[in-house]
Structures are given as C-alpha cells and as structure tokens.
C-alpha cells in the first residue's frame, strides 16, 4: 500500500466512524461489520467478500496506534491537493537559489510513487516519505522494502463450563487474511518464481534528482518490493496473501474465565517483507452450568447451592453433594443457619502449576409450597413449643 492509497482511502468512512473515534469504538464497529460481511455468513457473495477485505484493511491501520497516527498525518498533509499551502508544491517552491528557482512538486512525487508499502495498512509512513525527500534523514535509508509485521486478528470462542474449568483443546474455524496457499506466499503462479528487479537491483528504491535535492523513491517497476512477478498467482493477484478459512486448535487453559482472551502467537495476518506474523486473540465465552458457578473472590473456587430442610439445619445432618468429578459427604452441624457456606477442599479448579481451588457449598432452607394435615398439625405444635424464641428481638432494637 502506498502513501497515495492512504490519501485516497478513507478508512474511517469504511468502518462508519468519525476520525475522532476511540480505539474501543473502532473495534466495536469493525467487529459488527466483520460479522455481517464474513464470507461464512455470505457464501458466494463476491461483493460482501470484497467489502470484508476493505473493512479488514481499514481496521488493520486504525487499530494500530502508530499506523493510525501516520495515516492521520499523511491525510492531513496531502489530502485534497497533495501539497503544502493547497498548491502543487511548497509555497514559493524549493529552489537552487535565493530567488526560488526550480520548484519542487509533491504531487509529482506522489504520482511517481508505486505500491511500495508493505501489508494491509502498512505503508511506509510520513517519516519515511519525507526522509526520502531530505536525503533519507527523517526516515529509513534505501536498504530495501520495509518489513511490516502482520496485523493482529481477533476472534471469539464459546465453550462449556466444564471445559473452562478443566481445560480443553477446541477447534476454531477462522476466516481471515493469511498466506496464500496456492502460491505459498510468493505471489507467483505455482511453477514460476519471482526474480530480482533489474531496475533497482532488488533494493526496492531508486534515486532521483529534483533540482538541488537528491532523494530515493520506491521503484516503479517492482512497486518497491525488489521483485518482479511475471506471472502473478491468480488467487492472490501477486500479493501472496488471500482470505482463507482454516481450522486452528486452541488450547484452553484450566480455569479460563468468561470474557478472557487467549493469545495465539503468530496466528494473525502474515507479515510482509520477511516480518513476523501478527497474533490471534481469542475471546472466550463460557456457557453457564446448571449447578456450579465461579467465586467472584477467587476464580479457582467453584460454588454450589444445596437446598436443605429445616430439620436438617436444626438437628444437623450429613449431605451428599455433587462435585465436577463425583460426590462428597458434607457434615452439617446442628443449629446451622440458612445461607451458611462450607468449604470442601481441593474440589475446585485444578491448574497445571499444582494450584487447586475449593468447592464452596452454600446451604439454603427449602420451604414446601403446601402441607398435608398431619404436617400442618406438627408444625403448629412446634410453633407453640418454641413461642418463647423471638428471632426478631434484636431487629426491633428494644422498641417494644
């Protein structure tokens, strides 16, 4: 992607956000559009696929703080006319003498710039462009095409509660830009190979003089790549990157929490110019369990609510309660209050580092919705026998 591409393409408009949008707003807009335009949701729809690529390209730039800053600076400086002061070149022109002499036209520079960028949203940046003009002092020297790390990719995964507690390996189907499988990322049709550009000698840059100035610019013949592809790959068009669907095995660690992200290094978009690939961030959503939950104070502790009868609390009892693996016996002492929590050691999340959580069992009295005559009479006799006990005596604070 070239500086001209950055000027001509409005990435904010592509995502439907303003130029002042926050990183969270940009991410939210991208995820919404990606879901709507995803090739899996629009099989055979070429327009949706093209739009999906454009949205991904825009997000690749705007989600990266450095790229977004360079993009904003480039558009602010060159958009709408391509020069300083709204004209074709610098005000008054750059010249060889005090009077101005020969002018320097930035539009001419942009017109001569080929596709020397690297990656989606990975153009060389304003510093590189101005560095080329002023003897390469503001940017990188003419050492070859600039390597660009691949963009990070985000995805989501839904798993069962038990898999989240115990850990699991889950298959994730992902459609995203990746190395073209047909050409292996070379950009050339299978059976052919790119060759070194004879114009720039494989460097990707050529020197040019403009009046008193000499500067380097991307080679027009190879578009700054240093390579010539005589027979481009029909799948990726010579880019070496195409949108594809792949199956990844995601290792979910034991104890992963709902909303937590798992990072898969190097599974994002491929890098350009030999740079490493980006990372894949998978947000995990955990389905709730019918019985068990996770403690808010310690995510390694599981929670369980067990209904009990009033006599079991008053007289004491031994309960059989479930765990994720089997069952355990829990002793309830006499006089236990409803809502009390008991700790069963070692029955929570078991992590690989040997750390193990507990099972927190809360007992709550279950009130029958109706009683037969015998039960009603027995309960009335109990109420009569314990009428001296007032559980609300402290609540009234001596106002009686």
Give the pLDDT mean for 111-128. 42
In this structure, the number of other CB atoms found within 10 A of the CB of residue 74 comes to: 20
Q: Between 334 and 97, where is the model more confident? A: 334
The CA-based dihedral angle spanning residues 163, 169, 171, 177, taken in that order and rounded to the nearest 10 degrees: 120
The model's pLDDT over 235-271, given as tens digits with 9 standing for 90+, comes to 787 777 777 777 888 999 999 999 999 999 988 877 7
Q: Would you place residue 367 in the very low, low, confident or very high pLDDT band (cuts 50, 70, 90)?
A: very high
Among residues 288, 289, 269, which one has the least CA distance to residue 277?
A: 269
Supply the pLDDT for residue 122.
41
Cα–Cα distance for residue pair 348/10, rounded to 1 Å = 51
Tokens of 331: 């002793």
Q: CA distances (Å), 204 to each of 4, 70, 198, in order?
A: 17, 21, 10
| Residue linked to tokens 């309660």 | 321
Supply the pLDDT for residue 102.
41
Q: CA distances (Å), 387 to each of 52, 379, 381, 382, 390, in order?
A: 73, 12, 10, 8, 7
Over 90: is that where the pLDDT of 295 sits? yes
List, in order of start, the domains of the chain with CATH numbers.
147-194+229-288 (2.60.260.20), 293-385 (2.60.260.20)
Give the pLDDT mean for 298-325. 94
Supply the pLDDT for residue 346.
93
Cα–Cα distance for residue pair 323/312, rounded to 1 Å = 21
The model's pLDDT over 29-38, given as tens digits with 9 standing for 90+, comes to 888 888 888 7
Do the Cβ atoms of 322 and 306 come closer than 8 Å?
A: no
Q: Which residues are annotated as a binding site?
A: 180, 183, 197, 200, 219, 222, 233, 236
Over 70: is that where the pLDDT of 126 sits? no
Which of 2-6, 70-74, 113-117, 256-260 is predicted least confidently?
113-117
Dihedral of alpha carbons 62, 66, 67, 73, sign:
positive
In this structure, the number of other CB atoms found within 10 A of the CB of residue 394 comes to: 8
**Which of left, alpha, beta for 113 (phi over 0: left; psi -120 to 50: alpha)?**
beta
Q: Would you place residue 182 in the very low, low, confident or very high pLDDT band (cuts 50, 70, 90)?
A: confident
**CA-only gyration radius of the chain, Å:** 34
Q: Which residues are annotated as a binding site for Zn(2+)?
A: 180, 183, 197, 200, 219, 222, 233, 236
Cα–Cα distance for residue pair 345/305, rounded to 1 Å = 16
- For residue 304, what are the β-bridge partners? 292, 361
Cα–Cα distance for residue pair 193/358, rounded to 1 Å = 60
The model's pLDDT over 51-95, given as tens digits with 9 standing for 90+, comes to 888 888 888 888 888 888 888 887 776 544 444 434 344 444 444
Tokens of 121: 């949203």
The model's pLDDT over 277-294, given as tens digits with 9 standing for 90+, comes to 889 999 999 999 999 999
Cα–Cα distance for residue pair 129/138, rounded to 1 Å = 8
Supply the pLDDT for residue 381.
93
Over 80: is that where the pLDDT of 165 sits? yes
Q: CA distances (Å), 209 to each of 117, 173, 200, in order?
A: 22, 52, 16
**Which of left, alpha, beta for 169 (phi over 0: left; psi -120 to 50: alpha)?**
beta
The model's pLDDT over 185-234, given as tens digits with 9 standing for 90+, comes to 777 888 888 888 888 887 777 877 665 566 677 788 787 777 888 888 88
């Amino acid at each position: 992607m070239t500086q001209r591409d950055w000027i001509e393409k409005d990435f904010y408009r592509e995502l439907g956000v303003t130029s002042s949008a926050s990183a969270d707003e940009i991410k939210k807009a991208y995820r919404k559009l990606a879901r709507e335009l995803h090739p899996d949701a629009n099989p055979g729809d070429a327009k949706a696929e093209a739009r999906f690529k454009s949205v991904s390209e825009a997000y690749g730039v705007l989600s990266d703080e450095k790229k977004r800053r360079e993009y904003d600076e480039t558009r602010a400086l060159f958009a709408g006319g391509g020069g300083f002061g709204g004209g074709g070149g610098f005000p008054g022109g750059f010249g060889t003498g005090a009077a101005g002499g020969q002018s320097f036209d930035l539009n001419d520079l942009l017109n001569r710039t080929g596709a020397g960028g690297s990656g989606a949203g990975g153009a060389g940046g304003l510093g590189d462009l101005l560095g080329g003009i002023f003897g390469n002092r503001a940017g990188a020297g003419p050492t070859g095409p600039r390597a660009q790390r691949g963009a990070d990719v985000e995805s989501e995964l839904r798993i069962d509660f038990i898999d989240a507690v115990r850990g699991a390996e889950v298959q994730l189907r992902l459609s995203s830009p990746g190395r073209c499988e047909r050409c292996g990322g070379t950009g050339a049709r299978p059976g052919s190979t790119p060759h070194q550009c004879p114009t720039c000698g494989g460097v990707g840059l050529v020197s040019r003089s403009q009046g008193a100035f000499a500067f380097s610019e991307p080679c027009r013949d190879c578009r700054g790549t240093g390579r010539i592809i005589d027979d481009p790959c029909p799948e990726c068009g010579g880019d070496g990157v195409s949108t594809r669907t792949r199956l990844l095995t995601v290792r979910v660690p034991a104890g992963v929490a709902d909303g937590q992200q798992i990072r898969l290094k190097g599974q994002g978009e491929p890098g350009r110019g030999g740079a490493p690939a980006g990372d894949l961030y998978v947000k995990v959503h955990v389905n709730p369990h019918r019985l068990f939950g996770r403690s808010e104070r310690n995510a390694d502790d599981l929670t369980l609510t067990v209904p009990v009868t009033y006599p079991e609390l008053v007289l004491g009892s031994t309960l059989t309660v479930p765990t994720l693996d089997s069952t355990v016996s829990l002793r309830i002492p006499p006089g236990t209050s409803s809502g009390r929590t008991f700790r069963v050691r070692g029955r929570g999340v078991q992590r690989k580092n040997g750390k193990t959580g507990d099972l927190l069992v809360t007992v709550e009295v279950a009130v029958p919705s109706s009683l037969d005559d015998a039960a009603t009479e027995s309960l009335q006799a109990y109420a009569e026998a314990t009428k001296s006990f007032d559980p609300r005596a402290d609540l009234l604070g001596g106002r009686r």
